[in-house]
Amino acid sequence: MGERIETRVVVAGPADHEHIIQVAGVTKVFRQGELEVHALRGVDLELHPGEFAALAGPSGCGKTTLLNLVGALDTPTSGTIAIDGTDVSTLSRGEAADFRLDHVGFIFQAYNLVPVLTAFENAEFTLLLRGLPADRRRAIVDPLLARVGLADMMRRKPHELSGGQQQRVAIVRALATGPRIVLADEPTANLDSRSSESLLDVMLELNGELGTTFLFASHDPTVLERSRRVVKMLDGRIAEDPGPG
């Protein structure tokens, strides 16, 4: 695996006519005994580099399932998913894990921080997995933690941080490897409105500065209002898509 972690300052946007995410004819069927649950029904979706987009819709509409497929956390029943030119729907489990580490950052509703680790140690975790030396990890993580307002809280454990601060650590962890895409599943669900707005301001700024593509799954009005493109889903299908914003 390559290091490919340097901060990008040139924003690749819709004008490049390059698709960083291509979802074509994707279905996903979950089997529960003899019961089949059709979570996705022929979904087509394309995103350009640098987009700040959200999947919206009621619970059970398929948005989290689609996000998991885009992130190579699961495979479709049929159809193809190309991420940054790689067909992730054909990857083995090991190949998918390597791909996620190199290309995709994740932000989850529950933060998923390790309780016994400090903010810095949680933020550098993906870099440890890539085998980077300590000085290189610090050179990457310190500026990012400072950028999200946590320069003085690097040594605090998760229980010593507010929900918004924990989610900022999760953002740094997601961005530390320099991914082309960050996927966020209900990232504001456990936050109050002020923390949600502050968190989204940070992500919008990082989106503009780094050119990282953000794709959310959310029903939070704050997220949807800030997103430049809102793709509405219903019953496992794309119900409305305005296209690149």
Give residue-wise pLDDT tens across range 89-99.
Answer: 999 999 999 99
Q: Say if residue 10's pLDDT is above 70.
A: no
User: So where are the chain's domains?
Assistant: 49-75+86-240
Task: Quickly state the pLDDT bin for 108 (edges 50, 70, 90).
Answer: confident
pLDDT value at residue 109: 84
Q: What is the mean pLDDT of residues 132-140?
A: 95
Helix (H) or strand (E) holding 132: none
pLDDT value at residue 39: 96
pLDDT value at residue 9: 29
pTM: 0.87
pLDDT value at residue 8: 35
Q: What percent of the chain has pLDDT over 90?
A: 72
Q: Which of these, 210, 203, 206, 177, lies nearest to 188 by C-alpha position?
A: 203
Fold annotation for 49-75+86-240: Rossmann fold (3.40.50)
Based on its alpha-carbon atoms, the radius of gyration of the chain, rounded to whole angstroms, reads: 18
Q: CA quadruple 158, 146, 137, 107: dihedral positive or negative?
A: positive
Q: Say if residue 195's pLDDT is above 60.
A: yes
- How are beta strands 181-185 and 104-107 bridged, if at all? parallel
Question: Which range (2-16, 42-56, 70-84) has the least confidence?
Answer: 2-16
Q: Which of these, 105, 181, 178, lies nearest to 143 by C-alpha position?
A: 178
Q: CA quadruple 38, 81, 72, 124: dihedral positive or negative?
A: negative
Q: Which of these, 150, 203, 148, lies nearest to 181 by C-alpha position?
A: 203
| pLDDT averaged over every residue in the chain | 89
Q: What is the mean pLDDT of residues 64-74?
A: 95
pLDDT value at residue 245: 65
Which tokens belong to 240?
A: 């409305």
Buried b (16+ CB within 10 A) or exposed e, 147-165: bbebeebbebebeebebbb
Q: Say if residue 12's pLDDT is above 80.
A: no
Distance CA 187, CA 151 (A): 22
